[in-house]
Chain A
Amino acid sequence: MATSQMPKSILKKASYPATPTSKQDRDRELALYHADLIQNRKDIELEILFSTETLIDYPLATAPYDASNPSSADAKTFKDLLRPFQPSDYDALIIERNINERCGYTLCANQPRKQSGGGKWRMVGKYGKGKDFRVVDKKELEKWCSEACAMRALYVRVQLSETAAWERGERGENAVQIDLRDEPKSDSDIVEGLDKLQIAGDDNTRKQDTAHLALERGDRGPAARIGSVDVKILEKEIRRAPEAPSLEDQDLTERLDTMHLALEGHTPSFGSNRHRRHEEEEEDTDWKL
Chain B
Amino acid sequence: MSNEEDREVKQREAGNRETARLWRAWRTVHELVQDRGYILSEAEVKISLEDFIHKFNSGDGNIEKSRMNFTAHPSDEMVARYSNPVTDRDPKPAAPDVGPIKVKFEEGDSIGIKNMRKFAQELTAESFHTGIMITSVNITPAALKIIPAVASETRIETFLEADLLVNITHHELVPKHVLLSKEEKAALLQRYRLKETQLPRIQIGDPVARYLGLRRGQVVKIIRKSETAGRYASYRYTV
Residues of A within 8 A of B (CB): 45-46, 49, 52-53, 56, 92-93, 95-96, 98-100
Contact in complex: B140, A53 (CB < 8 Å): no
Given contacts A53-B113, A53-B117, A56-B114, contact A96 B145 (CB under 8 A): no
State how many angstroms separate the Cβ of B116 from the closest Cβ of chain A: 10
The listed residue (B113, B145, B149) touching A56 by CB distance below 8 A is B113
Q: Interface majority SS on B: helix, strand, loop or mixed?
A: helix
Contact in complex: A96, B140 (CB < 8 Å): yes
Classify chain B: how many residues form its interface, as a range.
10 to 19
Complex CA gap A92/B145 in Å reads 12
Count of A-B residue pairs with CB < 8 Å? 34
The winner among A52, A92, A99 for most chain B CB atoms within 10 A is: A99
In the complex, besides A52-B113, A99-B114, 6 extra interface pairs with C-beta distance below 8 angstroms are A49-B145, A52-B142, A53-B113, A56-B112, A99-B112, A100-B114
Give 27 A-B contacts (CB < 8 Å), ordered by A residue.
A45-B145, A46-B149, A49-B146, A49-B149, A52-B113, A52-B142, A53-B113, A53-B117, A56-B112, A56-B114, A92-B140, A92-B141, A93-B142, A95-B112, A95-B140, A95-B142, A96-B112, A96-B114, A96-B140, A96-B142, A96-B143, A99-B110, A99-B111, A99-B112, A99-B114, A99-B140, A100-B112
Contact in complex: B149, A92 (CB < 8 Å): no
Complex CA gap A56/B142 in Å reads 12
The listed residue (A49, A98, A100) touching B142 by CB distance below 8 A is A49
- What are the interface flags for B120-152 relative to A under an 8 Å C-beta threshold, 1 for contact and 0 otherwise? 000000000000000000001111011001000
The listed residue (A45, A46, A96) touching B113 by CB distance below 8 A is A96
Chain A residues near B110 (CB-CB < 8 A): 98-99
Chain B residues near A49 (CB-CB < 8 A): 142, 145-146, 149
Instruction: Tell me the nearest residue of chain B to A96, going by C-beta.
Output: B112
- What are the interface flags for B90-123 relative to A under an 8 Å C-beta threshold, 1 for contact and 0 otherwise? 0000000000000000000011111001000000
Complex CA gap A95/B112 in Å reads 8
Instruction: Tell me the nearest residue of chain B to A88, going by C-beta.
Output: B141
Instruction: Tell me the nearest residue of chain A to B145, going by C-beta.
Output: A49
Complex CA gap A52/B117 in Å reads 13
State how many angstroms separate the Cβ of B110 from the closest Cβ of chain A: 5
Chain A residues near B149 (CB-CB < 8 A): 46, 49
Chain A residues near B141 (CB-CB < 8 A): 92
State how many angstroms separate the Cβ of A49 from the closest Cβ of chain B: 5
State how many angstroms separate the Cβ of B41 from the closest Cβ of chain A: 37
Complex CA gap A53/B120 in Å reads 14
- What are the interface flags for B33-52 relative to A under an 8 Å C-beta threshold, 1 for contact and 0 otherwise? 00000000000000000000
Chain A residues near B143 (CB-CB < 8 A): 96
Complex CA gap A92/B144 in Å reads 12
Complex CA gap A95/B145 in Å reads 15
State how many angstroms separate the Cβ of B152 from the closest Cβ of chain A: 12
Chain B residues near A53 (CB-CB < 8 A): 113, 117
Chain A residues near B112 (CB-CB < 8 A): 56, 95-96, 99-100
State how many angstroms separate the Cβ of B10 from the closest Cβ of chain A: 14
Chain A residues near B142 (CB-CB < 8 A): 49, 52, 92-93, 95-96
Instruction: Tell me the nearest residue of chain A to B109, going by C-beta.
Output: A99
The winner among B111, B112, B143, B145 for most chain A CB atoms within 10 A is: B112
Chain B residues near A46 (CB-CB < 8 A): 149
Complex CA gap A99/B145 in Å reads 16
State how many angstroms separate the Cβ of A55 from the closest Cβ of chain B: 10
> Would you list the 4 A-B pairs with minimal beta carbon distance, nearest first?
A99-B112, A92-B142, A99-B110, A96-B112
Chain B residues near A95 (CB-CB < 8 A): 112, 140, 142
State how many angstroms separate the Cβ of A267 from the closest Cβ of chain B: 56
Complex CA gap A93/B113 in Å reads 10
